[in-house]
Structures are given as C-alpha cells and as structure tokens.
Structure 1
Amino acid sequence: MKKIMMAATMALTLSLSQLSLAAEQPGVVVDEDPSVMAMTTDFVLVRPVMLAATVFGSALWLVSSPFSFAGGNAMQAADTLVIGPAKTTFVRCLGCVGDGYKHNSE
C-alpha cells in the first residue's frame, strides 16, 4: 500500500506542471502544433494521471460536500476537484497545453 501511495503522489506531482501550463491567459492566441513526443507523453503519462486525479477529486469532493454545502462553496470545490482535472483529461487535444489547436479568446 505504501508503494502505491508513493507512486500516486509522484504521478500527481509530475502532473502539476502540466496543470499550470494548461491555464488560459486572456487575450493570448494559442497556435499549437504538438510534437510526437508531446503527444506520446500526454497519452502515456498525463492523461492517466489526470484521470486518477479526476476520480480521486470526485471522491474527495463527495466526502467534503457536506462541509462545502454548509460553507456555500460547493460549486467552487467541484470546479477545483472534479471539473478542472476532467477538462484536462477529456477536453484538451492530445499534446496541447491549451484547450485546442487554435484558440482565440477575443
């Protein structure tokens, strides 16, 4: 069990850099053309880790939901723990750091 927790912690730590890169910047036009290495790394490492983060975040949100509802921030907790990792896992194109090949936020 200790080895599994250590591996999960390491995987989540590695994915944090991808999360910071995936944050949108207003007014920036992103024209991405991901390389084979970026696509492979995304498929092999990042997507499974973010899927695990989505599942773990869903469980964590479910456990903390009584406190979140009482505090009035249930949707903010859901956005942070479930929706953010799910978007990174399922919506983003393979190898992209943004939400698509061509994105214009104007």
Structure 2
Amino acid sequence: MSPKQHAETLPTDLSLMRETAQILLGPDAAPDVLPPSADELDTLTRTLRGHLELLAPEVEQAAWRLDKESVPRYCALACVEEVRGKLRAQPSPRPHRATQRPLTR
C-alpha cells in the first residue's frame, strides 16, 4: 500500500494533532518546561510530518470543491504546495541545527 493510499484509509484525529503540536510549541508558552530531548524531537518531527501527510490531501480536496475564483481556494492550494515542499526537504544533519527548518530557495 502506498503512503497516499495508507493516508486515505486513516481517520484524521485533529485533537491528537493539536496535542502533538503543543508538546513542541509548549516550551515557548511555558518557560519552566524543558525542550524535548534529541530522541523526543526526532519522534515529534516524524509524528508531525505524518500529520501533515494526512492533512495535505484533505485540505487539497476541500479546496478543489471551492469556487474556481475563490481566494480561500487559491490560498489553501498554495499552502498545500508549501507543505509538500517542506515534506520533501531534509533537516540539517548538524545537531545544533536540528530544530531549525531547512532553508528553501
């Protein structure tokens, strides 16, 4: 089964996605919480990438149903392409850059 076919069979759990994102974003909101360890960061990164792989096709399908001249449709499709570009990008192998997103040109 291809990743796309697999993603199409899984339900989208927005609550779980929000909880996972909050784990990563939490240290900014609560300074007394330690940032994730390298192993935790790797797990979070893989989990969040999986969430994006599930959401992108859903957002794209919803956008295609909007009016052809719709600004929300244009924005949603642009965002889906941005996400797909980010998913194709690989993080820097240098440890001090592990939490930074790769630069795109």
TM-score, length basis structure 1: 0.50
User: How many residue pairs are counted as aligned between the two chains?
Assistant: 80
The one-letter code of the counterpart of 1:49 is H
TM-score, length basis structure 2: 0.51
Could you tell me how far 1:99 is from its partner in structure 2?
Answer: 2.6
The ranges of structure 1 where at least 4 consecutive aligned residues each deviate by more than 4 angstroms after the TM superposition are 15-18, 94-97
Alpha-carbon RMSD across the aligned residues, in angstroms, is 3.7
Task: Indicate if the aligned counterparts of 1:50 and 1:88 stay in contact, CA closer than 8 A.
Answer: no
Identical-residue share of aligned pairs (%): 5
Residue segments in structure 2 that go unaligned for 5+ positions in a row: 1-9, 26-36
Residue segments in structure 1 that go unaligned for 5+ positions in a row: 21-33
| Larger RCO (alpha carbons 8 Å, 6+ apart) | 1
1:1-106 aligned within 5 A? 8-14=13-19, 17=22, 35-43=38-46, 45-64=47-66, 67=67, 69-71=68-70, 74-80=73-79, 82-93=80-91, 96-100=98-102
SS at match of 2:18: helix
Could you tell me how far 1:88 is from its partner in structure 2?
Answer: 3.9
